Chains A and B, each alone.
Chain A
């Protein structure tokens, strides 16, 4: 099916490690991209490709994938990492060069 599924909410203690996951058939064919969105702001790309970070994104953010699941890991979560994280990939449906987004995961840093 043409959809990406994320847990609605995840929490992590300050300084600990958290993994946010994304599931979907398209992830068997395409890498997962991850966007961070803070309240009232536009999304910001944090991870793309096999495990690439745009300039300015801290190295505590990393990405991985296996089968139909993509993961975003934050190693040593900081207070400023509290945000909604959206996963995305190309749609692998036949003849559809579209884009899929997950519903977003709200990360709370305790």
Chain B
């Protein structure tokens, strides 16, 4: 059973960079055809897909939500079986619960395993 766990600071100052890591257990992040995504949810609102990374070898492929693309970077560390999110120039609008999830992009196009989520608050 694949398990995902988000980690990172729960408080980020405006204009700074939000950084989160997702640790995957129960399977290799670099094997198979799966992608790995970040999704966020502001309090009381719907889900928003942030971006994904996959096809780790040889070079890895990333896709980002066009509305966030200029501020987002998703990367992978295969030695730690982790992938990470960096979101720059944050504002209060970026306050949300951030989830990582396994992304079956190109097949069922679903998120079949999710982390528990981590709340990130943007405030001075």
Contacts and interface: CB of A to CB of B under 8 A. Distances in A.
Interface of A: 30-31, 33, 35, 41-45, 48-49, 52, 54, 86, 88-90, 96-104
Interface residues of B toward A: which range? 20 to 34
B112 A42 contact: no
Contacts of A43: 47, 99, 111, 114
A30 B65 CA distance: 18
Given A48-B108, A86-B46, A42 B63 contact: no
Contact of B109 (A33, A44, A104): A33
A37 to B, nearest CB: 8
A19 to B, nearest CB: 19
B117 A89 contact: no
Contacts of A52: 108
Interface of B: 37, 45-49, 63-66, 99, 105, 108-112, 114-117
B45 A98 contact: no
A45 B37 CA distance: 15
A59 to B, nearest CB: 18
B111 A30 contact: no
Contacts of A96: 66
A54 B112 contact: yes
Given A42-B99, A42-B115, A42-B117, A101 B109 contact: no
Given A33-B110, A42-B115, A103 B45 contact: yes
B104 to A, nearest CB: 9
22 contacts: A31-B109, A33-B108, A33-B110, A33-B111, A41-B116, A42-B114, A42-B115, A43-B47, A43-B111, A43-B114, A44-B114, A48-B108, A48-B110, A86-B46, A86-B47, A89-B109, A97-B105, A98-B64, A98-B65, A99-B37, A100-B49, A101-B49
